[in-house]
Amino acid sequence: MRQKTFRVGVLLHGALGLALWGATIAAVPAAESQSATKIPVPTELPPGELGKFVALGRDIVNNTTTNPLSKPYTGNALNCTSCHLSGGTDLKGLSFLGTAAVYPTYTSREKKVISLEDRSLNCFMRSMNGIRPANGSEVSTAIAAYITWLSEGYPIKMSLKGPHGPNAIPALKLDPAKGSVERGKSLYDGKCAACHGVDGEGVGKFPPVWGAKSYNHGAGLANPVQLATFLKNAMPLGNANLTEQEALDIAVYVDSKPRPKFVLEEHLGKKK
Ligand code: HEC
Ligand code: HEC
């Protein structure tokens, strides 16, 4: 009896499979390339209160250190958009496009399943060297609403590769031991210092890349391979032209410089 049911199941499945075959082959490549060029970046906010809330999240991402809701939780001179370029809408700069479609997901860093909110709040503690806002707080929910708006049209797809949205750029396969701090320094002085300062302190509206006002040792970019991947795709801003070796040399140089230490307990809980 069981076996019979099974056979019927297989037959039905086969017939359905055939019927859907045309649709399936058409759908797979689109889903695989997640082609962001085909999924437009939203421009119109949802109507009403939801739209206002999404706009609040957008403002927090762009003006993290000045928005009164997020300011108390920041600990350096960076805004989310300093790394998630153009408010997370630039595919070359740690974009948020489609990101909401992969959460919740398992992360080996915390060894647990985390939500989209948890992931943003981790950046508050590490990349922003600040304090973790509470899950479900206005600041956290507003950011999640904004990222969800930027993910409209992307199919929900669980990530088996950790907390990386469909447009996350995979880390370059580089060996940090092959980077040279000396070469990195001269490349940095020639290609980066005009905007980020010879001492990494930032110039005017250009953000610092090391020192007390920069990301801490617990941040993703404190890992030279992750930093090199970011630089290769995004820096110099508007004219990303580094070879992989140059990106690695600059990354080991920048990440050899002093920055705030990361002690998890100091970033949990109450506002400063
Ligand atoms: C110093 C740079 C930096 C800053 C500032 C920063 N982040 Fe990040 N963020 C990163 C890096 C690096 C990653 C990891 C990207 C990856 O894993 O592919 C990341 C990942 C994320 C992700 C997960 C993306 C994904 O593809 O799943 C979210 C969400 C996020 N950040 C939100 C924020 C928010 C919100 C802020 C501001 C409160 C912020 N980040 C500030 C560097 C930064
Ligand atoms: C024309 C000016 C300019 C140049 C040149 C430039 N950057 Fe940037 N960089 C920026 C701006 C502006 C941002 C922040 C993006 C924003 O706020 O829109 C940024 C962001 C960054 C960030 C992430 C935020 C932070 O401060 O940690 C890093 C790291 C970085 N740049 C490193 C470099 C390196 C290394 C080079 C040289 C290869 C370089 N940049 C060249 C303007 C520049």
Q: Which of 94, 115, 149, 255 to mutate to test the pocket of ligand 1 (most atoms within 8 A of CB)?
A: 94
Which atom of ligand 1 lies at the shortest distance from residue 124's CA?
38
Instruction: Decide if 169 is inside a domain.
Output: no
- Same domain? 124 vs 200: no
Residue 269 is predicted with a pLDDT of 76
Lookup result for tokens 């003006």:
63
Closest C-alpha among 149, 46, 37, 142 to residue 99? 149
Q: Is 113 helix (H, G, I), strand (E, B) or coil?
A: strand
For residue 64 and ligand 1, the question of a CB distance below 6 A is answered with yes
Q: What is the pLDDT along the chain (272 residues), one digit of tens a residue?
A: 343 333 333 333 333 333 333 333 333 333 344 454 589 999 999 999 999 999 999 999 999 999 999 999 999 999 999 999 999 999 999 999 999 999 999 999 999 999 999 999 999 999 999 999 999 999 999 999 999 999 999 999 999 999 999 999 999 999 999 999 999 999 999 999 999 999 999 999 999 999 999 999 999 999 999 999 999 999 999 999 999 999 999 999 999 999 999 999 999 976 54
From the alpha carbon of 192, which atom of ligand 2 is closest? 37
Burial pattern 151-183, b for ≥16 Cβ within 10 A else e, equals beebeeeebeeebbbbbbbeebebeeeebeeeb
Question: How many structural domains is the chain composed of?
Answer: 2
Q: Are residues 138 and 207 both part of a single domain?
A: no
Per-residue pLDDT, 24:
32
The pLDDT, as a whole number, for residue 13 is: 39
Q: Give the contacts of 120 (CB within 8 A, at least 6 positions apart).
A: 140, 143, 144, 147
Judge if 90 and 141 occupy the same domain: yes
Domain that holds residue 71: 48-149
User: What's the pLDDT score for residue 120?
Assistant: 98
- 142 shares a domain with 194: no
Q: Is 221 a domain residue?
A: yes
Asked whether residue 197 falls in the same domain as residue 251, the answer is: yes
Ligand number nearest to the C-alpha of 219: 1
CATH number at residue 225: 1.10.760.10
- Residue 163 Cβ inside 6 Å of ligand 1? The answer reads yes
Asked, for residue 227, whether it belongs to a domain, the answer is yes
Q: What is the C-alpha to C-alpha distance for residues 260 and 250, in angstroms, rounded to an integer?
A: 19
Pocket-testing residue among 61, 80, 192, 246, ligand 2, by greatest number of atoms within 8 A of Cβ: 192
Same domain, 200 and 121: no
State if residue 221 touches ligand 1 by the CB under 6 angstroms criterion.
yes
Phi-psi region of 119 (alpha: psi -120 to 50; beta: other; left: phi over 0): alpha
pLDDT number for residue 140: 98
Instruction: Flag whether 9 is in a domain.
Output: no
Q: Is the CB of 220 under 6 A from ligand 1?
A: yes
